[in-house]
Amino acid sequence: MCKRLFAILLLISSPVLAAQEANHAIHEELRGVLSGIQDAVNAQDYGSIAPYFHENLSITTINQEVISTRAEIEPYFDKWFGEGGYLKTLRMSLDADDLTEFYADTTFGIVRGSGEEDYVLSDSRSFPMKTRWTATVIKDTDGKWRILTLHIGTDFLDNPILAVAENSTKYFAMAGGAAGLVLGLLIMFLWGRSRKAA
């Protein structure tokens, strides 16, 4: 009974919410762009990402590489992920902070948001990363909305990969110190024996 009531309330409220949201159809299309990219990355279907971007795109990736053509998108992912890549998989969840802000008679807009990106290394270690992104979207010549520019960044002070690197540095420093101590004791021991022999 509760499920039926919830479904009825949802059907009643949906047209009301759509009426309250200016440019509702455009926002829905843009939500589809965001979820389409997210789903393609999570499915490792990198070849289907390019159509969501404008022909004159500019992307700054999380590792600060720059992609400036559609043809560069799939090779970028193939280089980093999957068989022969540096990393095994990437799973992401993207959310916009708010509705897209439109300009120039609703022909382009700016939107920003956050992401949860889980990077899995070839040795199966997992590194969850929090990201921030900003995108410029534009109504293309065929009437579809696409991403013109995209910039992705992360807080390098809250970076699990950096933390592992720091811990590795500490580990090697401690290991080096221990090795130096053992070597010093060994030299002292041999020196002591040579004096006794003399």
Read off the tokens for 21: 């949201």
What is the per-residue pLDDT across 124-175, written as a single tens digit (0 to 9) for each?
888 899 999 999 999 999 999 999 999 999 877 765 555 554 454 344 444 4
DSSP secondary structure letter of residue 124: -
Least confident stretch, 26-35, 86-95, 186-195: 186-195
DSSP code, position 99: P
Architecture, CATH, for domain 23-158: Roll (3.10)
d(CA 145, CA 102): 12
Per-residue model confidence (pLDDT) at position 180: 53
Average pLDDT over residues 72-100: 91
3-state secondary structure at position 49: coil
- Mean pLDDT rounded to a whole number for the chain: 81
pTM over 0.75: no
- Distance from chain centroid for Cα 130: 7
Measured CA to CA, the distance from residue 127 to residue 155 in angstroms comes to 14
Q: How confident is the model at residue 6 (pLDDT cuts 50, 70, 90)?
A: very low
Average pLDDT over residues 173-198: 53
